[in-house]
Amino acid sequence: MQNKGLVKFFAILFALVSIYQLSFTFVANKVKDDAKTFAGGNPEKEIKYLDSIGKEKVFLDFFTYNEVKDKQINKGLDLEGGINVILQISVKDVLKQLSNNSKNPAFNKALEDATLNQEGNQSYLDAFFVAFEANKGTNKLASPDIFANRNLQGEIDFNMSDAQVKKVLIKKVDESVESAFGVLRSRIDKFGVTQPNIAKLGQTGRILIELPGAKDVDRIKKLVSSKAELEFWETYKSEELMGFMASANEALKATVKADEKVEVAKPTDSISKLLTDKDKDSTATKKGNNPLFDKFVSQGGGPVLVVASPKDTAAINGYLKRPEIRNLLPADKRYAKFVWGKVDVKVDEKTKKETETVDLYALKGNRDNIAPMSGGVIVDARDTFDQMGKPAVSMQMNGQGARVWEELTGRAFSQKSFIAIALDDVVYSAPGVTSGPISGGRSEITGSFEVAETKDLANVLRAGKLPAQAEIIQSEVVGPSLGEIAIHAGLISSIVGFLLVCLWMVFYYGRAGWYANAALLLNLLFLFGVMASFGFVLTLPGIAGIVLTLGTAVDANIIIYERAKEELREGKSLAEAVQASYGWKGAMRSIIDANVTHVLTGTILFVFGTGLIQGFALTLLIGIFTSLFTSIFIARIFIDKDIANNRSLTFCTPITKNWFTGFHFDFIGIKKWSYLFSSVVVIVSCVSFYFNGLDEGVDFVGGRTFQVKFEKPVESSVVSEELSVAFGTTVEAKVFGSDDQLKLTTKYKIKEDGVEVDKEVNEKLYSALKKYYGADVTYEKFINSYDGKKVGVLQSSKVGAAISADIKTNSFWAVIGAMLVVGLYLVISFRKWQYSLGAIAAVLHDVIFVLGIYSLLYKYMPFHMEMDQHFIAAILTVIGYSMNDTVIVFDRIREFLAGDRKGHFKDVVNASINTTLSRTLNTSLTMILVLLIMFIFGGESIRGFIFAMLIGIIIGTYSSLFIATPVLVDTMSKEAIDDIEKRHGN
């Protein structure tokens, strides 16, 4: 080997750099352990400790803790625990704002059609353009009542074409997403979690937020999705609208059907007196006799019209929005805007029972529904405490805001009225003004707050409002205890997999196996060093990728060693055999072809995958390149040293010396039987697809999943039935690992977005399952994550309908694209389309086989066999390895056909397969070994994923021998075969 000294230099340099980079991870972990010990299990105390030492030097008396943690290998949420959400910025809202809330029928019809008809991987904006073309009639985008308005003055005028307007809209939507990204980053940076990650997902209008270690699910979802539209409104007094409420109640009596009898609370206020003019009104007990007033708990006072239960707010809203009811408003109050306050929770001191109520306000609206003052005037906000010592939020306004605030408070003082402070159409407080106009622009929001709420509220007010509604379309919550289990499983599978591969290499190749193991060890060091150097995230599928790298890392060594054995059998010296095996016509062409197919499929997996799947693809890709370097160059340094010292090296042991040699099996002769077997498999699979289908996970169809741990074993069928009744729709419950743990799946309200919907689902789940837990398991303990959590929701995820369509589309094109790209490469590399066709036929056969196995068995296997992103990753990995096996055989066929081997065409092809059998089986065997280890020790969450690869590798080995090569033979033209036999004839 030339430049041996240079190879040694770079190997030592890379090793030192890798050790240096990994040292930051070890130091960061030690500091975190110290923080946990100091905090004693209190997560807030732990974060404060880490924040306090952020600027202290903790490594080499030079690097601060903040610098160290930025250079460590970051763990993904599945290992660290935490919360992951993908937000979709509402492009529909952005377009409405840009159109100045246009009332144009064609425009609004296009908005609705775009919502209904948006296809997978199609942006909402593109769907809107298509819908507008179909509905526009004589309108155009630059119409004065659409986009040629004052909001876009100077950018769009009515003479512009639709194509020109589209360019402006694309730019404006991108600016809105960028603005939202900045607002969310500001909110997250102030939230107080370590190493948050926020990233835009291409041009989709979606934003990924990862919060490792975060635990309060409802609070975080509210923080990231709150639009933060702060508004200041003047309010009506309760007595000003009580006449309207009475008129509305009377009008509703004629249209709202009376229902069953219910007990009415004893009259305690003026509303009750309105309900029961007579003390013994026999009809007052009928629900529907007073449709509106029956929904109220009590009358309010001041700015509060009435008090109601949160469960009745939707019905009351429906009544008050009716046109015939709105028409009852006095002329000077026709723009009144009814909004609710923040939910207030009161606890009865005697019964300890909690009661939730919410206040109804009437704001002094206007024709344009624009508040007298908005949150844009706020320049600073701080969480503080009011005069009563209760949590509050103080705000400072700019000069313009201070002037408007002085006018508003002056008017409220003189009229003895109130000013409502509303955030996202929820009134947080409605203070009166008792000491005259307030100058200077300072104000305060008070109410029934927790300290954490005032911190979050001040945070979002400082960061500013989002330019449009942000809906959570995908989320995942992983408890820290699951992360610990995943790390433990990953470590065990990695160590056992590494040891088994090492033992097999030594057993089969003797001393040469030790050289391969040394290269393998160095390869792992390089792999982790690269991940640490570039700040890549380590995930559980990423650990699976590393374990798979153990199998692929020795693949190149196996190909080289097998070629060297062949050269030695032909009588060459060790030096000549090594030189030939490392040459382009020896093993290098096969190694390059096989690894190019790996790189292509890995790249496609990385491009089309998201989150954890990208982590798997990334470690796989890094492993390919580090493996090539160590297998080709490092192992050879040891081999060349043996040659220089005249040491014997046989690349085998006495036991394995003659293994897989002397084979003369007629693979082509039995092709009819292999075709028959494979045809039966394909037919059975297709029949199963029709009758059984596939167990499509929420990634593909949308839905919510919960991994719930119970205090003792439960019956999944009973839990499923109970939850289905509670949710009013099917809830699937499957045993997940052990009898006291279930995986629950539901599509309940999956097409509805909003934090309120997510919280409703969580509350329904807790209410239905709390009977299985002790009284100490509260809602917060059941839903939220915390260190040492053993029962309740350990992991949850949500995939909205919109993103599931994108995932399904991406998955389809990823599989098709992988086959086509690799097929194209083989056409270029082998210069004959028959090779590519044979390889694609084998891969297609493998994909159908794996899908068929999953379709047939998913109802019966004790582990989950869902079609999700992990499964697609497995399929793409199978495609790569199937191509790998096929390429090894095809390379030998090409070599023999280009050489002087004698015999008929079929004889030459059979000889090619037989002489590569040891390489094919050895490569597959090492892969099967590590996959089995992952399957046994890798953990329940990736067992189905590993099973797909395990089946795929086994069937891929079969197809490369019995499908790919026969297809190659059968598609060769008669002229080409005649030419080959003429050149190779006896």
Which DSSP string corresponds to 80-137?
H-EEEEEEEE-HHHHHHHHTTS---HHHHHHHHHHHHHPPTT--HHHHHHHHHHHH-T
Write down the pLDDT at residue 816.
81
Positive/negative CA dihedral, 530, 533, 535, 537: positive
3-class SS at 280? coil
Tell me the per-residue pLDDT of 298-328, one tens digit each, with 9 for 90 and over: 888 889 999 998 888 888 988 999 999 999 9
For the record, the structure tokens of 895 come out as 């070599």
Mean pLDDT of 518-539: 83
d(CA 872, CA 867): 7
Tell me the per-residue pLDDT of 259-289, one tens digit each, with 9 for 90 and over: 433 344 444 444 444 444 434 443 344 444 7
Phi, psi of 86 (to 5 degrees): -115, 120
Positive/negative CA dihedral, 620, 621, 624, 630: negative
Write down the pLDDT at residue 263.
40
> Given a cut of 80, is residue 628 above it in pLDDT?
yes
d(CA 866, CA 797): 15
For the record, the structure tokens of 746 come out as 């539901």
- Determine which of 78-87, 371-380, 480-489, 501-510 has the lowest per-residue pLDDT on average: 480-489
Better pLDDT: 343 or 1: 343
d(CA 848, CA 815): 12
Mean pLDDT of 100-127: 84
DSSP output for 543-582: HHHHHHHHHHHTHHHHHHHHHHHHHHHTT--HHHHHHHHT
Mean pLDDT of 433-453: 76
Count the alpha carbons within 13 Å of 540 in the hemisphere toward its beta carbon: 26
Tell me the per-residue pLDDT of 370-415, one tens digit each, with 9 for 90 and over: 888 887 787 888 888 877 888 888 888 888 888 888 888 888 888 8
Q: Using pLDDT thresholds of 50, 70 and 90, give the confidence band for residue 611.
A: low
Cα 392 to Cα 386, 446, 983, distances in angstroms: 6, 5, 92
Tell which residue, 229, 203, 225, 226, has the closest CA to residue 86: 225
Write down the pLDDT at residue 616.
72
Mean pLDDT of 119-124: 73
Kindly give, in sequence order, each residue whose CB lies less than 8 Å from that of residue 563, ignoring residues fewer than 6 positions away.
580, 581, 586, 587
Cα 295 to Cα 267, 308, 310, 749, distances in angstroms: 14, 7, 10, 25
Mean pLDDT of 796-804: 73
Q: Using pLDDT thresholds of 50, 70 and 90, give the confidence band for residue 433.
A: confident
Phi, psi of 58 (to 5 degrees): -125, -5
Ramachandran quadrant class, 393 (left: phi over 0; alpha: psi -120 to 50; beta: rest): beta
3-class SS at 209? strand
Write down the pLDDT at residue 687.
92
d(CA 198, CA 88): 13
> Given a cut of 80, is residue 752 above it in pLDDT?
no
Mean pLDDT of 597-620: 75
> Given a cut of 60, is residue 66 above it in pLDDT?
yes
Helix axes 217-225, 162-189, angle to 10 degrees: 140
d(CA 583, CA 577): 10
Cα 79 to Cα 23, 67, 83, 477, 537, distances in angstroms: 20, 22, 12, 12, 10
d(CA 859, CA 865): 8
3-class SS at 885? helix
Buried b (16+ CB within 10 A) or exposed e, 969-978: beebeeeeee
Write down the pLDDT at residue 483.
59
- Dihedral (C-alpha) 840, 841, 842, 847: value to the nearest 10 degrees? 80
Using an 8 Å Cβ cutoff, are 193 and 211 in contact?
Answer: yes
3-class SS at 731? strand
Q: Using pLDDT thresholds of 50, 70 and 90, give the confidence band for residue 527.
A: confident
Better pLDDT: 43 or 578: 578
d(CA 902, CA 646): 36
Containing H/E element for 471? strand 470-478
Write down the pLDDT at residue 236.
92
Kindly give, in sequence order, each residue whose CB lies less than 8 Å from that of residue 482, ignoring residues fewer than 6 positions away.
78, 81, 707, 794, 795
Write down the pLDDT at residue 260.
38
Q: What angle do CA 921, 926, 927 make, to 5 degrees?
A: 95
Better pLDDT: 844 or 610: 844
Write down the pLDDT at residue 836.
84
> Given a cut of 90, is residue 360 above it in pLDDT?
yes
d(CA 922, CA 589): 18
SS3 content of the chain, % helix, strand, coil (to 5): 60, 15, 25
Predicted TM-score of the model (pTM): 0.65
Write down the pLDDT at residue 480.
62
At 401, which amino acid appears? G
Write down the pLDDT at residue 114.
87
Matching residue, tokens 């929001």 = 445
Tell which residue, 701, 803, 795, 702, has the closest CA to residue 744: 795
Containing H/E element for 64? strand 63-64
Mean of per-residue pLDDT scores for the chain: 80
- Determine which of 194-198, 512-516, 572-576 has the lowest per-residue pLDDT on average: 194-198
Q: What is the DSSP letter of 928?
A: H
Tell me the per-residue pLDDT of 717-744, one tens digit each, with 9 for 90 and over: 889 889 988 888 888 888 877 788 888 8
Using an 8 Å Cβ cutoff, are 913 and 869 in contact?
Answer: no
Q: What percent of the chain has pLDDT over 70?
A: 86
Tell me the per-residue pLDDT of 152-211, one tens digit each, with 9 for 90 and over: 888 888 888 888 988 888 888 888 887 777 777 766 765 555 566 777 776 667 777 777
**Alpha helix ranges (H) inside 2-64:** 4-39, 43-52
Q: Which of 471-480, 688-697, 711-720, 887-896 has the highest mean pLDDT?
A: 711-720
d(CA 638, CA 576): 16
Using an 8 Å Cβ cutoff, are 782 and 763 in contact?
Answer: no
